[in-house]
Amino acid sequence: MPNEESAPRFPGRPGDWVLYKDNQLIAFNKPAGLPVVPDKKKSPNLLQIGAAYVRQDLYPIHRLDRPVSGVVLFAKKTAAQTRVSEQFQARSVAKTYLAVVGERPTEDAATLVHYIREGKGNVSEVVDQSDKTAKRAELSYRYLASSDRYHLLEITLLTGRKHQIRAQLGAIGSPLRGDTKYGFKRSNEGGVIDLHAHVLSFDHPVSGSRVELRAPLPTGPVWEGFKGADVMG
């Protein structure tokens, strides 16, 4: 059975993944299944591939789960890494995801608040607020469209917890397509899941101007089934 550790083929070349670059930063549209940073199994990862592409060291600013696709931003200088990382900590970075689920939520738009703790087997558990090891997790979603079998949600993250979107959607009975860790019945080929980091907005570390990065959607029939939705630009 495919799992999160499988290594699918990645489309295109690293140059095709570039969304933005200047002398301070570079951003990629990460393929699903590719780790952002080195892991215990020494898998190919975006940090090393990106550094080879630009022929210099890169510095991680944030992460995406291995099975997730979309915008990943690296710094070319440590000062830029520090300044943008501080924005993540201050929650001034705007992060919007697109999620494909098998079960449409009962409400077309809502803000979800749960309490999450890290469980065994690299899983985040939704628990009662009284659990002192749990952290508050908050996101907003809105329903966008349906295909023959699936439903598309737009997710705005308000906190940044491990596996937050995956755990919270699973908790309301709308797990992500392919995400068997959080309740979907079948895995996807290569262990990837249908969650895409679509838009990332932040202040440039030098100019201070607002930068909005938008990652084109993954290819494949599931995503192509939503091409008429209003966020597909």
* Segment (H or E) for 104: none
User: Shortest CA distance to 105 belongs to which of 170, 180, 47?
Assistant: 170
Q: What's the sign of the alpha-carbon dihedral 215, 181, 166, 38?
A: negative
Q: How far apart are CA 25 and CA 39, in angstroms?
A: 23
Distance CA 178, CA 33 (A): 12
Find the catalytic residue in 22, 39, 65, 148. Answer: 65
The span from the CA of 166 to the CA of 161, in Å, is 10
Which phi and psi (to 5°) does residue 165 adopt?
Answer: -60, -45
Q: Is 39 a catalytic residue?
A: no
Of how many residues is the chain composed?
233
3-state secondary structure of 88: helix
Cross-strand partners of 142: 109, 154
Active-site annotation, residues: 65
